[in-house]
Amino acid sequence: MNATVEVLSPPGRHLRLAAAVFTVGASLVVILAYSLCAWTLVKYPWDWSPDDGLQLDFARRLLESPASVFHGHSVPFPSWFGPLYPALLMPLVHTAHPLAASRILALGLTLLGALAVAVLLRRRAGLLWGLAGAALYLSVFDITSYYMLLRSDTPLVTLWLWAAVLLLPSDLRPGADRLSGARIAGGTALLIAATLAKPTAAVHGLPLVLVWFLVDRRSAWRLTVAAGLAGLATLGFLEAITKGGFLDALLLLRFHGHAPGLTTQILGDFGERTWPVILLALVAAAYAWKRKAHPERDPVGFMLAGGLLVLPMLGKQGACLNYLLPLFAALVVAAGCWAARGLQATSGWRPVVPAAAATLALTLAAAQTFPLPTAYDESAARIFYQFTQTFHRKVGGPFLVSVPNLVYFQIGQDTEIEGSIFAQMVAHDAPGVRDVLTRLEQSRYTLVVETWPLPGQPEWQAALRRNYRPLGACRLGTYFAGYDSRLYARRGLPVDFTPPAGVRCLAVPDGH
Residue-range domain boundaries for the chain: 13-45+97-158+239-367, 375-507
- Asked if residue 262 lies in contact with residue 314, where contact means CB atoms within 8 angstroms, the answer is yes
> Do the beta carbons of residue 70 and residue 245 sit within 8 Å?
yes
Identify any residues that bridge with 484 across adjacent strands, giving them in sequence order: 475
Helix (H) or strand (E) holding 235: helix 217-241
Give me the pLDDT at residue 57, please. Answer: 97
CA 157 to chain centre: 8
Distance CA 339, CA 353 (A): 8
For 396-437, strand residue ranges (E) read 399-401
Angstrom distance (rounded) from CA 512 to CA 400: 20
pTM equals 0.94
Helix (H, G, I), strand (E, B) or coil at 90: helix
User: Could you give phi then psi for residue 450, rounded to 5 degrees?
Assistant: -110, 110
In three-state secondary structure terms, 401 is strand
* Pair 436, 417: CB distance under 8 Å: yes
SS3 state of residue 447: strand
Number of neighbours of residue 403 by Cβ within 10 angstroms: 28
The pLDDT of residue 3: 41
C-alpha to C-alpha distance for 176 and 198, rounded to whole angstroms: 32
Which segments of 319-403 are extended strands (E)?
399-401
How far is CA 29 from each of CA 135, 138, 291, rounded to the nearest angstrom?
8, 11, 33
On whether the CB atoms of residues 485 and 453 are closer than 8 A, the answer is: no
How far apart, in whole angstroms, are the C-alpha atoms of residue 348 and residue 212? 33
Question: From CA 233, how far away is CA 160, in angstroms rounded?
Answer: 20
Q: Which pLDDT value is given to residue 510?
A: 62
DSSP state of 316: B
Beta-strand relationship, 447-450 and 399-401: parallel
Residues of the chain with pLDDT under 70: 1-12, 345-350, 510-512
In whole angstroms, give the CA distance from residue 197 to residue 85: 6
d(CA 149, CA 107) in angstroms, rounded, equals 10
**How distant, in Å, are the alpha carbons of 113, 229, 300 from that of 167?**
16, 17, 11
Question: What pLDDT, on the 0 to 100 scale, is given for residue 5?
Answer: 40
Output the CA–CA distances (angstroms, integers) from residue 51 to 58, 59, 271, in the order listed. 11, 13, 26
Measured CA to CA, the distance from residue 191 to residue 205 in angstroms comes to: 6
From CA 199, how far away is CA 179, in angstroms rounded? 25
Helix axes 201-210, 217-241, angle to 10 degrees: 160
Write out the DSSP string of 464-506.
HHHHEEEEEEEEEE-SS-EEEEEEEEETT------PPTTSSEE
